[in-house]
Chain A
Amino acid sequence: MKISKSVLGAAAVASASALVLVGCSSNGSETDTSAAADGGSTGDAIIKTNGSEPQNPLIPVATNETGGGKIIDALFAGLVYYDATGAAHNEVAESIETEDSQTFTVKLKDGWTFTDGTPVQAHNFVDAWNWGADLANSETALNSYFFEQIDGFSWDESVPEMSGLEVIDDLTFTITLSAPNAEFPLSLGYSAFYPLPDSFFEDPDAFGAAPVGNGIYTLADAGDWQHDVQIDLSINDSYAGEREVQNDGLQIIFYASQDAAYADLLANNVDVIDGIPDSAMASYESDLGDRAVNQPAAIFQSFTIPQELEHFSGEEGKLRRAAISMAINREEITDVIFQGTRTPASDFTSPVIDGWSDSLAGAEVLEYNPEEAAKLWAEADEISAWDGTFEIGYNSDGGHQTWVEAVTNSIKNTLGIEATGNAYATFADFRTDITNRTIGTAFRTGWQADYPSLENFLGPIYYTGAGSNDGDYSSEAFDTLIDEGRTSLDPAEAAAKFQEAQEVLFVDLPAIPLWYSNVTGGYAETVDNVQFDWHSVPLFYEITKK
């Protein structure tokens, strides 16, 4: 999961998702790869973009927020990479094969090297993953939960070498999972799975300040990283992948606010930004014309009603949850409050994920239907009369107040009950009450994908006992369908199972889906060929400077 300040700011965040299930084990690239090799790092077509100072050392498995994530993704190349549509293509991997979705054989391409000249071999992956998964390193390896599925992983004791990873030869290794998961290869493009050179293990602290990678860009000198100011990345001449670089380097400028970045964009001082400040929401499309970007992102917004909340359990709870969902006018709120920068939700995932559907059975509960809502609420009142106020908890440091007020007003007017927002001063305060289960009201929730997968929007949040199941939802039918999808070898069948699982959610409504966040951004007159990928980051290597 990448914590994004802008998403915290404009919406919310957490983790993972999916686009295209094809292509993982196919050798997706026939393009000539030499373009990067002879592109010298001397040119002056440097792409300037916005970012923020990394909050953790620049080690792939230590980076769990977008400031560092943007840099890490430029510096490293993994087994697979995701293209603009979210489809996974092999990068360092020659092939990833499995017969049972539990043991995967990974063959690497020959000829990859790190920028220190050492080759990228099987042990560079296995050692990096073992280090990241080892409990002894957990104070640095914030993303160690990505290795949870690998056989031998433990949260209770230090395991220096997981039994599920085995090096066969220099270019081959096997991964054994503790349970089958057909979607596992999709996650291998996430930064936690990047390889690390041998020099990392000698001094991880030094590596975090001056990382050595195998990606498209490289940090040529530790001095190119001016803390709290900017980081200058040059072209990596030894990059051996198929993505062709169209510029001479990348400069990521750290901005304290989106407003400052936007001001620089208007003055052509920065080329591409991936966030529009609230103050410019109404005007950015006219300011930028066709250089404005507004497209759906892999971010799902909702509010969760805890299972144990009074009046929201059992049959009464189902009626009340459906009534509340139908009492919210999503179209109007996304139009008026968000000026079209949110898309009303029609399921529990995101439209950028392959397998997404806006016509699942039961999805009509997401449509505004005041008569039906009032009727269901009255039926629930017959089971047990409603008293009190319906509250939605939110953190007031993230720009949530306006929509929370709109949603609670919509509920109040439709159902004729008291409904208000319950503001927490800070995100930290808010999360503490949720984690300790002391919140005692409904609360806003958001989820951002790490890798393009339907399952990633469902399993981590609604599976019984899952890490981010903050509402303590538990459904046997849902769990079974998720398990079936995970073990399925056929991507189409898996997607069908995950859709069926969502139909269970539409009945139980552990969380009320609201909308999908869009990525808003823009680029200056100075550049061309700007494309935002499935997880809302521009594909920097494609950008050309005029």
Chain B
Amino acid sequence: MLMYVVRRLLQAVPVVIGTTFLIYFMVFAMPGDPILAMFGDKTPNQATYDALAAQYHLDQPFLVQYGLYMKDLFSGNLGTTFSGQSVGEVLARTFPVTLKLAAMAIALEFSLAVVLGLFAGLRKGKLFDNVTLVIGLVMLSVPIFVLGFLAQYFVAIKWGWASPTVGSDTSISNMWLPAVVLALSLFTTSMRLMRGTVIDTRSRDFVRTAYAKGLPGRRVIPVHVLRNSLIPVVTNSAANFGVLMVGATVTEGIFNVPGVGNTLYQAIIRGEGPTVVSFVTVMVLAYVVINILVDLLYAVLDPRIRYA
């Protein structure tokens, strides 16, 4: 078990190095000069330009820039933003917000998928199954910014049930609306997976055996059917969690959530190489860790799986 975790973490090392290199290269290759962009329509004087270029190593060739960045990275220095804040601080400030929003959204998504999927599976082909299918497909096909703007306009502005934006107060009571929007846009796939697995599991021998033993439905469904149907849903929700960790850029923008997505977007627009690469590195790590946790969770759900 421990060996397995260590091996998986070691596998992450080349992934991280490869990703940073690729991302750094892409930011480097982005058209346009970030220093010129800092000055708008006004062209900076050459002296000012040179000083700024030297400060951010932008006057160096690509490999030198990358080398300097990696050197700093391994000494624990993630660089500074154009406004002089340390990237480490920015990360420490934004990641918890995104983590919280992602956790809220996934908790909701998972609950919706499991409950609705279970009942839809048990009532296959009945009204409930069809209604959830239609609602799910609508949620899946409506782009998230439409969902976000509609929720903001009706729920927050018209009816006043929530604050239209999040801003400085990142408590659960202030962030529930964006979390609901995210959950609604994500739950359909998990719900359909759940439904399918429930139908499949119900026809398995061990379920028939359980009923044959005289066990009541209220025991067979939760213990035998539900538990054995969770694996694909857990995988899918965990993958969604990884996606949300990278920052729900659109949703964070609509609701002004001071999280990773927003900050990363600004950094890309400004061409701030170190900020972008540091963010992405941490995201890759988060993604790797989440996936290891999911794999370990399988063993909990399915005793047949063993990691040696």
Q: Which residues of A contact B (CB under 8 A)?
A: 1, 3, 8, 12-15, 53-57, 64-65, 135, 138-139, 141-142, 144-145, 155-156, 205, 208-209, 226-230, 253-257, 259-261, 263-264, 266-267, 269, 397, 424-432, 435, 445-447, 460, 467-468, 470
Q: For the complex formed, measure the closest distance between the CB of B257 and the CB atoms of chain A, giving whole angstroms.
A: 8
Interface size class of B (residues with CB under 8 A): 35 or more
Asked whether any CB of chain A lies closer than 8 Å to the CB of B143, the reply is no
State in angstroms the CA–CA spacing of A259 and B150 once bound together.
12
Find B253's partner among A155, A208, A260, A445 (CB 8 Å cutoff).
A260
Nearest chain-B residue to A205 (Cβ)? Answer: B84
Nearest chain-A residue to B31 (Cβ)? Answer: A429
By a CB distance below 8 angstroms, the chain B residues around A230 are 167-168
Please tell me if the beta carbons of B46 and A13 are within 8 angstroms of each other in the complex: no
Please tell me if the beta carbons of B41 and A13 are within 8 angstroms of each other in the complex: yes
18 contacts between A and B (CB under 8 A): A1-B40, A8-B40, A14-B40, A55-B270, A138-B47, A138-B48, A144-B45, A256-B252, A256-B253, A261-B256, A263-B152, A267-B160, A269-B164, A425-B31, A426-B37, A429-B31, A431-B36, A432-B32
Please tell me if the beta carbons of A155 and B46 are within 8 angstroms of each other in the complex: yes
Of B41, B255, B265, the most chain A CB neighbours within 10 A belong to: B41
Please tell me if the beta carbons of B32 and A397 are within 8 angstroms of each other in the complex: no
Q: For the complex formed, measure the closest distance between the CB of A200 and the CB atoms of chain B, giving whole angstroms.
A: 15
State in angstroms the CA–CA spacing of A426 and B270 once bound together.
10
By a CB distance below 8 angstroms, the chain A residues around B43 are 435, 467-468, 470
State in angstroms the CA–CA spacing of A49 and B270 once bound together.
24
Please tell me if the beta carbons of B41 and A431 are within 8 angstroms of each other in the complex: yes
Please tell me if the beta carbons of B156 and A263 are within 8 angstroms of each other in the complex: yes
Q: Known A228-B93, A263-B156; judge A428-B37 contact (CB<8 A).
A: yes
State in angstroms the CA–CA spacing of A96 and B200 once bound together.
87
By a CB distance below 8 angstroms, the chain B residues around A260 are 164-165, 253-256
By a CB distance below 8 angstroms, the chain B residues around A155 are 45-47
Of B84, B252, B258, the most chain A CB neighbours within 10 A belong to: B84
Contact with A along B83-108 (1 / 0, CB 8 A): 11100011001100000000000000
Q: Beyond A431-B32, A432-B31, A435-B36, list 12 extra A-B contacts (CB 8 Å).
A: A13-B40, A14-B40, A15-B42, A135-B47, A205-B84, A261-B256, A263-B165, A264-B256, A267-B156, A267-B160, A431-B41, A467-B42
Asked whether any CB of chain A lies closer than 8 Å to the CB of B301, the reply is no
Which residues 49-67 of B have a CB within 8 angstroms of A? 51-52, 54-55
Asked whether any CB of chain A lies closer than 8 Å to the CB of B262, the reply is yes
By a CB distance below 8 angstroms, the chain A residues around B157 are 263, 266-267
Nearest chain-A residue to B257 (Cβ)? Answer: A256
Which residues 144-199 of B have a CB within 8 angstroms of A? 149, 152-153, 156-157, 160, 163-165, 167-168
Contact with A along B12-51 (1 / 0, CB 8 A): 0000000000000000001111101111111111111001
Asked whether any CB of chain A lies closer than 8 Å to the CB of B269, the reply is yes
Of B51, B85, B254, the most chain A CB neighbours within 10 A belong to: B51
Of B149, B163, B164, the most chain A CB neighbours within 10 A belong to: B164
Q: For the complex formed, measure the closest distance between the CB of B50 and the CB atoms of chain A, giving whole angstroms.
A: 8
Nearest chain-A residue to B33 (Cβ)? Answer: A432
> Would you list the 9 A-B pairs with minimal beta carbon distance, nearest first?
A428-B32, A14-B41, A429-B32, A428-B37, A3-B40, A139-B51, A263-B164, A429-B31, A260-B256
Q: For the complex formed, measure the closest distance between the CB of B169 and the CB atoms of chain A, giving whole angstroms.
A: 9
Nearest chain-A residue to B263 (Cβ)? Answer: A228
Q: For the complex formed, measure the closest distance between the CB of B122 and the CB atoms of chain A, giving whole angstroms.
A: 41
State in angstroms the CA–CA spacing of A426 and B33 once bound together.
10
Asked whether any CB of chain A lies closer than 8 Å to the CB of B271, the reply is yes
Please tell me if the beta carbons of B82 and A56 are within 8 angstroms of each other in the complex: yes
Please tell me if the beta carbons of A253 and B84 are within 8 angstroms of each other in the complex: no
Nearest chain-B residue to A395 (Cβ)? Answer: B32
By a CB distance below 8 angstroms, the chain B residues around A228 are 90, 93-94, 258, 262-263
Find B37's partner among A54, A227, A257, A431 (CB 8 Å cutoff).
A431
